[in-house]
Structure 1
């Protein structure tokens, strides 16, 4: 694979059907997901799917999709909730699992791994500018920097609610019940996600 700087179109053509790569500022990033990381992703997706079914919402959680942020950046979110009624505005969607605007996105959840800096800083900033209403960061190992998860470092779920072009963030630990504006009836403790990610 060509490791030179890639344009988003080249990245989609070469890696668009794989969920182990992202493109950041033209650089190909190997995500190297672990089995435990995938367990955490699957648990969150399952819990949110139950909420979607119970409320009969027109939402879908695709197994994989890319968010094309710019000509040089495309993310593969761990969990993304899309409003199916808004996907008609996504010109690539019928032929490729690619999102180019935030109009259909209701929520994104990232499960933190060794590249935690991207989850806490770069992605959060880009998702806010894209207009994603709710952003979750599930840090089941407490890997994030102290400025993000506090002292002492511990497993933390950060949920950001979009206000303007920035997220207002709340931190949830162990026995805290998560609070979501997208899924207001959600009953889920942070510790359940931590357990899912640790196997």
Structure 2
């Protein structure tokens, strides 16, 4: 965390954005009013995210959505709760509706679910954030599809089983709630948004080897 206990002051989202250092090489998020320095992506995490970006961009081209669906380098999601803000590992934006985002051009802030086709979080040691907080907030926003990529099997056994095994969850918003479908091993990942995606969970996991 970037705030010491003596400095601790619960911030609003706007205060967090105002505080956020320009051109920072460190990623920060706001969790329940507290600024959190995100764990630096290690080689495997970065390799996997890069691999997924390449696969998604290829599928976007195959679907004829090039230039319409894009993956920005940086973005900050503003959920409905005013004291949180997240920077996803991968976000696919819909350029057809990005004009509704009044803070996008100056602050890279997204607050409308209609601007988002997919969010991907690659699980790190702070796995509870992805499985609980972000799932809850993305669901409440109405984000149509959210992936939890747990390549190192860090999540709780209630999610990934015992013994723990690497798992990708595709969370599809149905009637306002996420339906979580796990994919493991040679399971072909089924995405409601990227219907032409031809990728198994194991191919994703092998990208870090």
User: Which residue of structure 1 aligns with residue 114 of structure 2?
Assistant: 103
Match 2:43 to one of 35, 38, 49? 35
- 1:151 deviation in Å? 2.1
Matches within 5 A, 1:20-59: 20-33=27-40, 34-57=42-65, 58-59=68-69
- Displacement after TM superposition at 1:195 (Å): 1.8
Asked whether 1:79 is paired with 2:117, we answer no
Aligned residues: 198
Asked if the contact 2:62–2:196 (Cα under 8 Å) also holds between the matched residues in 1, the reply is no
Q: Which runs of 5+ in 1 are unaligned?
A: none
After TM superposition, give the deviation of residue 71 of structure 1 in Å. Answer: 2.0
Q: Distance in 1 between matches of 2:154 and 2:103?
A: 35
Q: CA RMSD in A?
A: 1.5
CA distance in 1, matches of 2:38, 2:48: 15
In the other structure, the counterpart of 2:20 is 15
Task: Encode CA deviations 1:150-189: one digit per residue, 9 max, x unaligned.
Answer: 2221000000110122111111111111000101010001
Q: Taking structure 2 as the reference length, what is the TM-score of the superposition? A: 0.90
**Which runs of structure 2 are paired with 1:104-119 in the superposition (5 Å)?**
104-119=115-130
Structure 2: segments with no counterpart, 5+ residues: none
Instruction: Choose between structure 1 and 2: higher strand proportion.
Output: 1
- Structure 2 distance, partners of 1:86, 1:72, is 25
Any idea what SS the aligned residue of 2:162 has? coil
Q: Distance in 2 between matches of 1:120 and 1:40?
A: 19
Distance 2:44 2:37 in 1: 17
CA distance in 1: counterparts of 2:131 and 2:163, whole angstroms? 17
Contact 1:136 1:158 in 2 (8 A): yes
